[in-house]
Amino acid sequence: MVSDIPGNSWLLEDEKHWHLFCRCGEYRTVEASEETTQVPECERCGSRFIDVLDFMEETDIRYRSPFVWEWRIEENPKNWSAIAVVPIPVNVEDDKPIFHDFSIARITLSRDGDLETERLEPHLLDAQIVTEKGIQGPQGPKIFRELQRCLLSWLAIAAVPEIDWLLNDENWLSSPPDRRLYILSFFLKNPHLKELDFYFWSDWVALPETLPKFETVLESVSWILADRKEKRVRRAFFESYAKAMRRKSYSVFTDAVFARSIEDPNHLEKLIRLPFEIKSRLFAALAWEEALELSRWIRDLYGEQGAVRFWRSVEPFHISNRYVRDIHRLMRVMRRNERMQERFTRPSANIEALHDRLAEAAGGSQREWEWAIDFEYPREVLRYEGEYEGWSFRLPKTGRELAEWGRDLRNCLAGYISRVESGECIILGIFHNAKIKYALEIVDGEVVQLSGKGNSSPPEKIKKFVNKYINN
């Protein structure tokens, strides 16, 4: 018998023996030979043993037995870390195992607010788990959720003056662990915004690095509103802010952009009062400078009153399907393309009308050399092509083919030729009965856009079907 075996049952192999350490405390050795291939079960409790070498080796094994892990906390003058470890036997002395902590995942929060997640052993975190009840999902997501809780529990007793005021706040306590860590990170980076009535401002960290560190909330509000003093503007801001805070978060980004592109207080007030579900996500796909550029271009195109009509035409569907991002990208293309400028005529102040007109102008202004571009794909991209349950997934072979897909789907695919050629993104056409039905955009291995004719959103069953194919 061996006591104090951490959580798992292990097989440790040397030149002559298999050392079997069971979590029930049983220890025995088996003579190793060429015939010794089948790992036995514990004679006392029936536990299955985990081979130490197989466990530590970085292989592409898709299925594993479940394993037990422990957590450790490390603290130093610069940061706090929660680490998931698996104690593994590395040697045997006097018939007792000598264990070493094998780190598999880590979450670190610095005292300056930087939050980092590290997948130290992806082959363990991503493998499917086989149990008596069948195949279950990987343990990685569960491990990181537990690490988040562990780190939060430690911070609750660590006496950190910069965030102590937050730890008993009901709004914060009712948030999920990942959200709570993100908020802690935010306030460590922005300790000057710790007033409880301004609970949390999302997107603040996305604003320019040159943003001054204001000493009070009122100074911060003045910056957001570009020092606007009109009572109706400030009243609209605080009423809009109060509504947003009932949903636990205020988005700084949109109000700051509009305050810098709209002069008339009547029109600015209307934009500040846009619905929360629109305003909180309106410029989510753009950087700060890009959002300012687009807002001012819309103002110059339609005038301030027309800009209000334009932004009021935005629906959640348009944001989900990246209309705002596409319009900004096509706008930049048009500034460099005289033929596109000649073909473009101003449509009504409506997001769909402007998107479709820009896409039409882009498709009709393609230079011959753009249409003649032959796309070349590396092997890892070519794997996306294939047939699946009666549907075809195809990569465009030329700029002309991509433009024709855009014409058939009535969208802006023609404007993606240079991005596809440079490898910035991957476009897949999804065909049924030899006709294109949907187009898919992939960036860095992630699906960022899936849309049908006229940028329509596909049914849920199509989304699930496509994700199943891409991740197969």
Q: Which residue has the tokens 């900004």?
A: 328
- Position 264 scores a pLDDT of 96
Strand order in the sheet with 435-443: 386-388, 391-394, 426-432, 435-443, 446-451
Crossing angle, helix 265-272 and helix 231-245, to 10 degrees? 0
Write down the residue that tokens 């088996």 correspond to.
30
* Token pair 């549907």 in the structure block, residue: 391
**Do residues 400 and 439 lie in contact, with contact meaning Cβ atoms separated by under 8 Å?**
no
Give the DSSP letter of residue 127. Answer: S
SS3 196: coil
Structure tokens belonging to residue 108: 């670190």
What pLDDT was estimated at residue 16?
74
Output the pLDDT for position 204. Answer: 53
Region label for 314, one of left (φ > 0), alpha (ψ between -120 and 50) or beta (otherwise) = beta
pLDDT at res. 2: 42
DSSP code at position 251? E
pLDDT score at 310: 97
pLDDT for position 193:
63
168: phi then psi, degrees, rounded to nearest 5: -110, 10
pLDDT in tens, the chain (472 residues): 444 556 777 777 777 777 877 777 777 777 766 555 566 677 777 677 777 777 777 666 666 667 888 889 999 999 999 999 988 877 877 777 788 888 989 999 999 889 999 999 888 888 777 766 666 778 888 899 999 999 999 998 887 887 887 787 777 788 889 988 988 887 888 776 665 444 555 555 555 554 556 666 667 778 889 999 898 998 888 888 777 766 666 777 899 999 999 999 999 999 999 998 898 889 988 888 999 999 999 999 999 999 999 999 999 888 877 789 889 988 988 888 888 888 899 999 999 999 989 888 876 665 556 777 889 888 888 888 999 888 999 999 998 898 889 888 887 787 788 888 888 889 999 999 889 999 999 887 788 888 888 778 888 888 888 888 887 7
| Dihedrals phi, psi of 160, to nearest 5 degrees | -105, 105
The dihedral region occupied by 37, where left means phi > 0, alpha psi between -120 and 50, and beta the remainder, is alpha
CA distance linking residue 325 with residue 411, whole number of Å: 13
pLDDT at 366: 58
Judge whether 18 and 41 are in contact, CB under 8 Å: no
Q: Say which DSSP state 47 is in.
A: P
- What's the confidence (pLDDT) of residue 196? 41
CA dist list (Å): 461 to 29, 61, 380, 435, 458: 54, 30, 26, 19, 8
Pair 374, 343: CB distance under 8 Å: no
Cα–Cα–Cα angle for 175, 177, 182, rounded to 5 degrees: 85
What is the C-alpha separation between 210 and 425, in angstroms, rounded?
31
- Answering whether pTM is above 0.85, one says no
